[in-house]
């Protein structure tokens, strides 16, 4: 059963989707265990089919025959057995397209027309024969293919124990080529020199990331920040706009915001010191509340949406201080969105893994615009605070008469109160932000233990056994020491040439991660035909359902030679669909099948469709579809 955060429905209400999956997904799972099938017996081509031949003679030869060859096309010389990819096959495809579009025979006076039933039969027969031709040219063995980006990242996550929630190993990789939306087609997944270089760099970086040789466990700390820390000054009580305002150092008021905040509200002193000091688990707590959601005293039409929804605060993560710049908003990561209570502060807490240098910050994610709502309120209710903008001043200086008159009129407001001192519209209040960490359930961390065990002194590691154990998991099949001895020899040679043992071992394991046996899925050869060996079948199943490498239970079933037993295979499928990693199947299948990953590539206009951005409809559309698919699967395939 695929785990989803939403409620489950019983029964089978989605018959259309059930039909699609019944003919598409479940047969794929079943055929994973099937042995090679005999090649289909060739049948007659459309040209030798009596009904098709009679149809062509009666309705097509007149324009596409010996005497007349419109469009340089002849149907009277089609071979009895056209081959896949031949000119004759292409001609049949063109004819089928014209028949489907109703273009052949042409609707002209004097041109004899077939009945709808005659055309339907011919279309069906040509379609069937072309499909058979296409199948006949397919190889009997699966093309050995490279892991796509999604599979590569998931495989590194499970192989190394990486935390990929906020770290994407493929961020700088080229985009995978796809066919019909699917990015796991072997012929399309080529490997360039550029991408190979990225593999080498990422392999070394990831092995180094999970290694804790001769590293003491970082001491856990607690940082407590108040309102003044957000601006790095003791007091900030007057502001020309309502963006950030400190009130008696009790709380920070945030007066406007947007779904993706360009100018984040972060602790300046913490950012200047480099963010969190080490990788590890941290607890981030924010104490916040909403103010003036309904009792602001202005026209409710200016803030109408807050009559039906609470003010919302988002917790964000900037992986490094450079991503706090205004033009770096796209690379920040949203952690969670909370509904704020009116007036009474509440503490919101999230435990998460942070990389060294990370900086959490907050925003009013469904806030109002400083140039829209707030500007209109100011002009209507507080005209005395309106100042000339820089654009208006520049235009006046360039001689624009209208701008000069406006600037002169607004000059009298220069010494008046600022908008922040008189505005009392909705806003959120941040009373404090605490960060505590790093903490670890065990030391060395789980990622180090997964690859190196408990040993933190690299010179004490058994190099051969470390390499053999790691390569067996990375290559997804049983190995003997002789199969990987060259990696151990490479490590020893590096040590003899002066490398520290930790560095040499890291480079040796990184070499394993750049091997074709890791980067490619080996699923048989021409001699095997369509039959998969046990470990190949384990990988096929795992990368289909989890987009990652097989786990221990699956490999144990392969070792016992039981995966071609239909009952064992079905039990493994049920178990895997009940695992949390089955969410990878839901995400990637719906992304490629329904193109959900392209949603947002042509975003709607921000001013015209503000609700799309304010309510984060893009991610909601994606999640809704994935939950629908997962709920359907749970209803029709209960474990």
Q: What's the pLDDT at 320?
A: 87
pLDDT over 50 at 236, yes or no: no
- pLDDT-wise least confident of 1-5, 209-213, 245-249, 593-597: 1-5
265 plus 361 within the same structural domain: yes
243 plus 374 within the same structural domain: yes
C-alpha span between 414 and 408 (Å, rounded):
11
Q: What's the pLDDT at 25?
A: 45
68: left (phi over 0), alpha (psi -120 to 50) or beta: beta
Long-range own/partner contacts, residues 167-172 (CB < 8 A, 24 or more apart): 167/319, 167/355, 169/202, 169/205, 169/206, 170/202, 172/198
240 plus 112 within the same structural domain: no
pLDDT over 60 at 21, yes or no: no
Which residues contact residue 145 at a Cβ distance below 8 angstroms, ignoring those fewer than 6 apart?
A: 184, 185, 186, 189, 520, 521
Q: What is the pLDDT of residues 371-427, one digit of tens each?
A: 777 888 888 888 888 878 888 889 888 988 988 888 888 888 777 777 777 888 898
What phi and psi, each to the nearest 5 degrees, are found at residue 353?
A: -85, 125
- pLDDT-wise least confident of 45-54, 169-178, 266-275, 478-487: 45-54
Q: What's the pLDDT at 425?
A: 86
Confidence class for position 73, pLDDT limits 50, 70, 90: confident
339 plus 237 within the same structural domain: yes
Domain boundary among 90, 116, 136: 136
226 plus 126 within the same structural domain: no
231 plus 128 within the same structural domain: no
- pLDDT-wise least confident of 131-145, 259-273, 480-494, 572-586: 131-145
Long-range own/partner contacts, residues 300-309 (CB < 8 A, 24 or more apart): 302/373, 302/376, 302/377, 302/425, 303/368, 303/373, 303/425, 303/426, 305/366, 305/614, 306/426, 309/366
238 plus 101 within the same structural domain: no
Q: What is the pLDDT of residues 172-215, one digit of tens each?
A: 898 888 777 787 777 777 888 899 999 999 999 999 999 999 99
Number of domains in the chain: 2
226 plus 123 within the same structural domain: no
Domain membership flag for residue 308: yes
Rounded to an integer, the average pLDDT of 436-441 is: 95
Domain membership flag for residue 248: yes
230 plus 365 within the same structural domain: yes
Rounded to an integer, the average pLDDT of 612-619 is: 77
Domain membership flag for residue 99: yes
pLDDT over 50 at 235, yes or no: no
- Domain with 258 in it: 221-382+423-439
Domain membership flag for residue 282: yes
Q: What is the pLDDT of residues 504-536, one digit of tens each?
A: 999 999 999 999 999 998 765 555 555 678 999
Q: What's the pLDDT at 635?
A: 76
Q: What is the pLDDT of residues 40-72, one digit of tens each?
A: 334 444 555 777 778 777 777 777 777 776 777
Q: What is the pLDDT of residues 536-568, one digit of tens each?
A: 999 999 999 999 999 999 999 999 999 989 999
DSSP per residue over 344-365, as a string?
S-EEEEEEEEE-TT-EEEEEET
- 225 by DSSP, 3-state: which? strand
Query: Whole-prediction pTM value?
Result: 0.72
Domain membership flag for residue 524: no
Which residues contact residue 40 at a Cβ distance below 8 angstroms, ignoring those fewer than 6 apart?
A: 132, 135, 136
pLDDT over 50 at 166, yes or no: yes
Domain membership flag for residue 478: no
Q: What's the pLDDT at 139?
A: 54
Confidence class for position 115, pLDDT limits 50, 70, 90: confident
- pLDDT-wise least confident of 70-84, 252-266, 608-622: 70-84
- Report whether 602 contacts 612 (CB < 8 A): no
- pLDDT-wise least confident of 243-247, 422-426, 462-466, 620-624: 243-247
242 plus 356 within the same structural domain: yes
CA 624: distance to chain centroid?
15
pLDDT over 80 at 276, yes or no: yes
Confidence class for position 17, pLDDT limits 50, 70, 90: very low
Q: What's the pLDDT at 559?
A: 93
Who has greater pLDDT, 477 or 591? 477
C-alpha span between 374 and 607 (Å, rounded):
15
Domain membership flag for residue 173: no
Mean residue pLDDT of the chain comes to 82
Which residues contact residue 593 at a Cβ distance below 8 angstroms, ignoring those fewer than 6 apart?
A: 181, 182
- pLDDT-wise least confident of 179-183, 275-279, 349-353, 560-564: 179-183
Q: What's the pLDDT at 38?
A: 36
Domain boundary among 98, 120, 136: 136
DSSP per residue over 446-502, as a string?
HHHHHHHTT---GGGS-HHHHHHHHHHHHHTS---HHHHHHHHHHHHHHHHTT--HH
Domain boundary among 107, 136, 165: 136
- Report whether 309 contacts 330 (CB < 8 A): no
Domain membership flag for residue 515: no
- Report whether 320 contacts 273 (CB < 8 A): no
Structure tokens at 172: 């700088």
The CATH number linked to 279 is 2.60.120.260
């Amino acid at each position: 059963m695929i785990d989803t955060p939403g409620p489950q429905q019983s029964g089978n209400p989605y018959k259309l989707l059930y039909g699609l999956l019944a003919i598409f997904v479940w047969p794929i799972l079943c055929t994973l265990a099937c042995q090679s099938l005999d090649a289909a017996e060739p049948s007659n081509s459309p040209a030798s089919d009596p009904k098709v031949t009679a149809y062509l003679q009666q309705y097509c030869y007149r324009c596409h025959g010996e005497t007349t060859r419109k469009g340089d096309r002849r149907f009277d010389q089609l071979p009895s057995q056209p081959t896949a990819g031949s000119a004759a096959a292409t001609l049949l495809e063109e004819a089928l397209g014209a028949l489907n579009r109703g273009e052949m025979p042409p609707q002209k006076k004097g041109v004899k027309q077939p009945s709808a039933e005659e055309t339907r039969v011919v279309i069906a027969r040509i379609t069937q024969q072309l499909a058979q031709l296409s199948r006949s040219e397919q190889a009997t063995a699966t093309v050995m293919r490279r892991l796509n980006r999604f599979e590569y990242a998931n495989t590194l996550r499970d192989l190394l124990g990486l935390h990929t929630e906020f770290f994407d190993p493929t961020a700088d990789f080229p985009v995978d080529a796809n066919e019909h939306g699917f990015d796991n087609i072997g012929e399309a997944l080529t490997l360039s020199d550029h991408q190979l270089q990225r593999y080498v760099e990422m392999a070394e970086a990831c092995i180094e990331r999970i290694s804790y040789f001769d590293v003491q466990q970082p001491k856990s700390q607690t940082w407590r920040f108040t309102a003044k820390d957000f601006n790095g000054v003791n007091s900030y009580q007057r502001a020309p706009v309502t963006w950030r305002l400190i009130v008696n150092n009790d709380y920070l008021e945030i007066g406007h915001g947007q779904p993706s905040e360009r100018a984040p509200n972060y602790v300046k002193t913490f950012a200047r010191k480099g963010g969190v000091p080490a990788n590890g688990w941290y607890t981030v707590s924010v104490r916040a509340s909403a103010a003036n959601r309904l009792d602001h005293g202005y026209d409710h039409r200016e803030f109408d949406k807050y009559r039906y929804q609470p003010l919302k605060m988002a917790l964000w993560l900037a992986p490094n201080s450079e991503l706090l710049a205004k033009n770096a908003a796209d690379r920040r990561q949203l952690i969670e969105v909370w509904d704020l209570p009116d007036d009474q502060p509440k503490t919101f807490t999230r435990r998460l893994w942070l990389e060294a240098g990370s900086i959490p910050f907050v925003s009013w994610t469904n806030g109002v615009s400083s140039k829209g709502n707030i500007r209109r309120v100011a002009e209507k209710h507080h005209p005395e605070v309106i100042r000339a903008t820089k654009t208006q001043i520049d235009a006046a200086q360039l001689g624009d008469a209208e701008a000069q008159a406006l600037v002169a009129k607004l000059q009298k407001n220069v010494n008046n109160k600022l908008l922040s001192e008189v505005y009392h519209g909705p806003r959120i209040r941040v009373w404090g932000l605490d960060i505590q960490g790093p903490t670890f359930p065990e030391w060395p961390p789980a990622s180090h233990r997964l690859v190196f065990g408990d040993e933190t002194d690299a010179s004490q590691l058994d190099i051969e056994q470390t390499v053999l154990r790691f390569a067996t998991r990375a290559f997804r099949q049983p190995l003997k020491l002789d199969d990987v001895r060259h990696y151990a020899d490479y490590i020893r040679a590096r040590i003899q040439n002066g490398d520290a043992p930790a560095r040499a071992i890291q480079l040796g394991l990184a070499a394993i991660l750049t091997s074709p046996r890791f980067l490619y899925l080996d699923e048989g050869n021409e001699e095997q035909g369509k039959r998969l060996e046990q470990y190949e079948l384990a990988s096929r199943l795992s990368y289909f359902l989890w987009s990652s490498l097989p786990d221990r239970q699956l490999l144990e079933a392969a070792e016992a030679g039981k995966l071609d037993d239909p009952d064992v295979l079905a039990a493994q499928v049920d178990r895997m669909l009940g695992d949390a990693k089955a969410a990878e199947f839901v995400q990637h299948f719906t992304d490629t099948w329904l193109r959900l990953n392209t949603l947002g590539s042509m975003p709607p206009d921000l001013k015209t469709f503000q609700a799309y951005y304010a309510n984060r409809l893009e991610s909601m559309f994606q999640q809704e579809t994935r939950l629908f698919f997962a709920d359907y699967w749970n209803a029709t395939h209960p474990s």
